Amino acid sequence: MSENFVLDGKTKSIDFGEEEVRFLKVLRASLDLAIDRGQEENAEMLRKLIEMGQRISSSLEIDVIIETTLKSLVEVAGAKCCALGLFDKKTGEIALKKSPESSNKSQIRAERVQAEGTILGEVTKTGQPMVIEDLANYEGSLCLPDCSNGMRSAAVFPVQAGGRIHGALIVCTPFALDRKGNEVGYLSIITSQVGLAIENAQLYESLREYYMNVVNALTAALEAKDKYTQGHSLRVALWAKEVAKEIGLSDKEQEMIYIGGLLHDIGKVGVREQILLKTDKLTPEEEKEIHTHPRTGARIMEPANLPKEVVEAVLYHHEDYDGGGYPEGIAGEKIPLLPRIIRVVDSYDAMKSDRPYRKAFSKKWVIEELNRCSGKQFDPVVVEAMIKLIEQGKLA
């Protein structure tokens, strides 16, 4: 068998024997298969990167973004040890979170390290990625001493977006990393996605903080109209959080009910002042106007994009357990738990506080009233927890 090849600019004919022809055919088939497999692997990795990007960008909470990133790197990129640190320009430190694989603990660990003099500091300063192909011969500080065993290479990428460097991502692997290899390219794509997600989360947090400051200012202005209600929202927030803790709710739920307690009466900014400060019995029309404040409060909070549990706490905090409350007249378990807690705490603070038309009630009377209204206005489980805290003196 004869084949023509171009060598040194000249066409030459080369004769192959049967064995050589058979070998070349096998080689060609192997190359074709390798190319097909390579394309399949690239397509599969592209699919994984898209899915990972969707997971990373699905949250506006920085802690969730970091946790999702570290876990995904272990699953998708084959990283055995990785960490993501956000740069604190005020202290010069990196708030570093490491994947569970970097320690014997099951949870992602957090610590603060000095960036100066480390590879993290260099990457956050220059904005350029660094690849350490051979960790055994690397003499600098990687900030991940517990990742050295069994790790061969490491890559450090600046986490940046919007022209700002937010921190750095460190990935250690038991296999060799090529500076120009696909793995480094994939990691670079992931880091870009992380940077955009963190940029969005920080922008969102900044806007929410600004909005919450405005809402808190409105609450303070509302309470300033009446000396008898000053500090009411803060007390409700603190005590509702204590009740939530007593019942066994999570830290996140406790934080949500605290915010809901602070804002539960914010809708009263839409109620006429002469009604809010009226000392005698309200007319039916005035009661109807008062009853609008939960819905108004929920509408005020909508632009802040707060968790629905917080909005529900504001919307339903005047619903009664037996269905006799407002604004919707729902009952029992149909009322979310957080507003059921605020309903009891709100009433407790009203009973124990002085009013223009009466003095505060005694602790004994308040406890008797809570028991009397248990199962009617109030959730019995919440009443039980509330009374326990009152008797223990924890609601100071």
In a domain, 176, yes or no: yes
Asked if 2 and 18 count as a contact pair (C-beta separation under 8 A), the reply is no
Q: Are residues 290 and 335 in the same domain?
A: yes
Domain assignment of residue 11, given as a range = 1-55
Question: Both ends of the chain: CA-CA distance in Å?
Answer: 99
Mean pLDDT across the chain: 81
Domain co-membership, 126 together with 43: no
Please indicate, yes or no, whether residues 153 and 236 belong to a single structural domain of this protein: no
Shared domain check, 362 and 231: yes
User: Which CATH number goes with the domain that contains 298?
Assistant: 1.10.3210.10
194 shares a domain with 290: no
Tell me: the pLDDT tens digits for 320-368? 999 999 999 999 999 999 999 999 999 999 999 877 778 889 999 999 9
Indicate whether 154 and 174 sit together in one domain: yes
Instruction: Answer yes or no: do 147 and 279 share one domain.
Output: no
Residue 260: predicted pLDDT: 93
Among 2-6, 114-118, 119-123, 256-260, name the most confident range.
Answer: 256-260
12-26, 161-175, 285-299, 364-378: range with lowest mean pLDDT: 12-26
Count structural domains, the chain.
Answer: 3
The domain boundary residue, chosen from 203, 236, 269:
203
- 216 domain-assigned: no
* pLDDT tens-place string over residues 180-197: 667 777 788 888 888 888
Domain membership flag for residue 294: yes
Same domain, 75 and 160: yes
In a domain, 366, yes or no: yes
Looking at the structure, do residues 43 and 160 belong to the same domain, yes or no?
Answer: no
CA distance 265 to 222: 9
Within-domain flag for 210: no
- The model carries a pTM of 0.62
Output the CA angle 310-312-317, nearest 5 degrees: 105
Q: Are 304 and 338 within one domain?
A: yes
Q: Phi then psi for 356, rounded to 5 degrees?
A: -60, -25
Q: What is the mean pLDDT of residues 306-323?
A: 94
Percent over 70 (pLDDT), the chain:
79
At residue 314, the pLDDT reads 96
Same domain, 257 and 136: no
**Is the same domain home to 264 and 131?**
no
pLDDT value at residue 10: 54
Q: Does residue 351 form part of some domain?
A: yes
Query: How many other β-carbons are positioned within 10 Å of the β-carbon of residue 127?
Result: 13
pLDDT band at 6 (very low <50, low <70, confident <90, very high): very low
Q: Is residue 374 part of a domain?
A: yes
At residue 102 the predicted structure's pLDDT band, cuts being 50, 70 and 90, is very low
- How confident is the model over 236-273, as pLDDT tens digits? 999 999 999 999 999 889 989 999 999 999 999 888 88
Residue 7 falls inside a structural domain: yes
